[in-house]
Structure 1
């Protein structure tokens, strides 16, 4: 839908002389590529883990989101550059054509945005939705510029509204890129506090303290945690482990946790890999030959 209408909008923009339509057509063309990239990333992210990728390919969605965000920066810069040219040298615009095509584009973008909004809220889908939302705003700008030109004849309305939409898209794109970069750098998710998690874990019965605590995002929907747990008594570990896992799942929505138990300094470690086997009847008593 997006790719087909991009061709229609490009021809209409060239015929009418509307930068808003031409810019929106270019934006919709890049969005078609972005949606294709997001679809491929979503398929790859569902592949199971392997000996080479033990977490699977979940980060592909984040990479796709980042690439789409960088693509958006290029589109915004291109539209802004052409808008400045039009402000310096205003050109006539066929307002009636702009209004008709922009209204059709707005309807198509609303349908596509509705379809995407029903999907998963991961970074990949958010990036794709950002592209479509940018198209939607572009259609609104083109429609508004056509109406202004039709009733006032003020041609600078076309590039000015294009620059306004560029500013709105730029703010959302930078936010998306920040989240994608933070995920790829394995930062603590914005909705979680490392200190709050550590203090909550340390309050579990049988736990003395927590150290080497790490929390990071595997993707937009999965958080992983690893920590060293110092115990008051090593015999309490089975009970403490269950309590810690329940705490992390229920309070922080962390379901992938790797916890390493440690005794207090000076304690005798009583963990063993397997229980001792029975003595053999044929074994000689200690001290005998």
Structure 2
């Protein structure tokens, strides 16, 4: 998916951090760490609870971030550089949800913080997270965190193509969790359980649907500075790469790639089929109401 060349983007929309060398999580499992492990959105679907017993490495190497956002000023840079594409995607998501959330749900939208990071770990209000966690949303500081190495890992370990729209789908999914935080569905969900029809899965599928809602409106929502739509209308081939990304982060797909049995009782994010269906629902219908995964019966999820 290409951004219109004439749009203007603000490099200050994101913050950048470089994670130092430290233990992935605090040894012994503090309450904050448990909350982070259990509740943080993990597009990778990896179970990290085994890290709770790991010893903490308190050694930290402080380095400057290698992520250069100074070149990110317009649609040309967004089409050329991944970090600029992240900024443009965030600004497009802000514009879409800034218009659609009040209009459709009567809920005011406020922008989440967006942190791009490189290194071994990052600190958030939900605890310290290693790069193994993948992109996540923390409601404690209303921030989306994205490790810039994730897209390479996504292609290598999950088998998804690293294409612009696939990357943008992942960001849109995490912003979908912020929308859930704003509307209250995140707080209302019981995220202590697992399984194909659990609230954890319903929450993730709703975020997929919200990502689809963004795609539905992205090519017609203008950049407030120039009046130009943020995005060129995606081609069917580009949409397919986003669908492939949704398939790749399905719990069953991840279990199969790890050579383990497919166990739906352990799912926390949903199957490939479920994730594609709800992303497509949001994209085709473009409405918040179409994304009420908590209202559908188990056989329709």
TM tier relative to shorter chain: under 0.3
User: More helix by proportion, 1 or 2?
Assistant: 1
The two structures have a TM-score, normalised by structure 1, of: 0.24
Higher relative contact order (CA 8 A, sep 6+): 2
